[in-house]
């Protein structure tokens, strides 16, 4: 596997699109919270400083990072797969002696490594900014929300697995990007709120893939005083629990990867 990962790295390390996506993600992840902290804005129930202090920085950085992962890592997964189809390098690699299984596993392994590194960078940003801006008396809660690291990795992997499946089906970069964003922004919410809610108005409407990935790192309403009481009372039941979101995401990730593998194995490349 290390050999195949090295091949993928050599293939994309000097690619302009790959470098730009990684660079923008790396810059924006800490910059968003630092920008919020520097703003002198009065928001009821929310202090700008709390977004960079322990333990709330785990939640706020995970939420802001989920948008970056959704856009940049999702697009990166589409690009890495669709470029193989458009340039016909999948077929060329098979002619050169690689099997479809080896090609697919090298791609999936490479994207899982990217997902893990993106999550590791999230962890580093949390620890560095948290220690810099948290008063000494609050440092006892440094790791109170460290489970966000695993959920962040699942979130990154979830969006990328969805992007991979769409790309394997569509095969064209522009069309795959359009369907990816259209599904997550319009199609799934419409299915959930207009169709599912019509025949089953209960919590089952929250167990859709994009919503499950989103609920891994939700907006931390429980940390904002004006919504904290609603969250604790259960009157604001709009999110899956962390366990529900994690298990649901794992199932969807496995299904998407297996479906993508089946299509790569059986369809013409």
Mean pLDDT of successive 10-residue segments in the chain (269 residues)? 82 92 96 84 68 91 96 96 82 71 90 96 96 85 91 97 96 95 96 86 90 94 56 64 96 98 85
Cα(200)–Cα(231) distance, rounded to whole angstroms?
A: 23
Domain range enclosing 105: 2-266
What's the pLDDT at 2?
Answer: 81
- Alpha carbon of 16 to those of 2, 71, 171: distances in Å? 24, 17, 20
- Alpha carbon of 159 to those of 14, 62, 154: distances in Å? 24, 14, 9
Cα(9)–Cα(113) distance, rounded to whole angstroms?
A: 11
What's the pLDDT at 226?
Answer: 47
What's the pLDDT at 200?
Answer: 79
What's the pLDDT at 66?
Answer: 97
What's the pLDDT at 263?
Answer: 93
What's the pLDDT at 223?
Answer: 65
Using an 8 Å Cβ cutoff, are 67 and 152 in contact?
Answer: no
What's the pLDDT at 94?
Answer: 67
Number of domains composing the chain: 1
What's the pLDDT at 239?
Answer: 84
Q: What's this model's pTM, rounded to 2 decimal places? A: 0.92
């Amino acid at each position: 596997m290390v050999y195949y990962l090295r091949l993928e790295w050599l293939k994309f390390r000097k690619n302009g699109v790959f470098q730009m996506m990684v660079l923008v993600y790396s810059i924006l992840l800490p910059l968003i919270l630092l920008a919020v902290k520097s703003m002198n804005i009065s928001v009821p129930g929310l202090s700008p400083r709390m977004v960079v202090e322990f333990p709330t920085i785990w939640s706020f950085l995970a939420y802001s990072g989920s948008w970056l992962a959704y856009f940049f890592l999702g697009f990166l997964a589409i690009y890495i797969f669709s470029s193989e189809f458009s340039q016909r390098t999948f077929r060329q690699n098979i002619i050169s002696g690689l099997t479809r299984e080896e090609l697919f596993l090298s791609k999936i392994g490479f994207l899982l490594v990217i997902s893990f590194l993106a999550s590791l960078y999230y962890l580093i940003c949390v620890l560095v900014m948290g220690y810099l801006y948290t008063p000494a008396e609050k440092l006892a809660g440094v790791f109170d929300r460290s489970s966000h690291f695993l959920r962040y990795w699942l979130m990154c992997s979830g969006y990328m697995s969805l992007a991979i499946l769409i790309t394997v089906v569509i095969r064209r970069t522009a069309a795959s990007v359009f369907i990816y964003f259209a599904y997550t922004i319009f199609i799934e919410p419409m299915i959930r709120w207009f169709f599912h809610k019509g025949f089953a108005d209960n919590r089952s409407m929250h167990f859709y893939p994009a919503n499950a990935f989103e609920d891994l790192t939700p907006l931390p309403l429980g940390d904002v005083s004006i919504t904290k009481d609603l969250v604790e009372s259960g009157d604001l039941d709009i999110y899956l629990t962390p366990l529900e979101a994690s298990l649901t995401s794992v199932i969807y990730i496995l299904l998407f990867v297996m479906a993508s593998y089946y299509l790569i194995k059986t369809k013409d490349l």
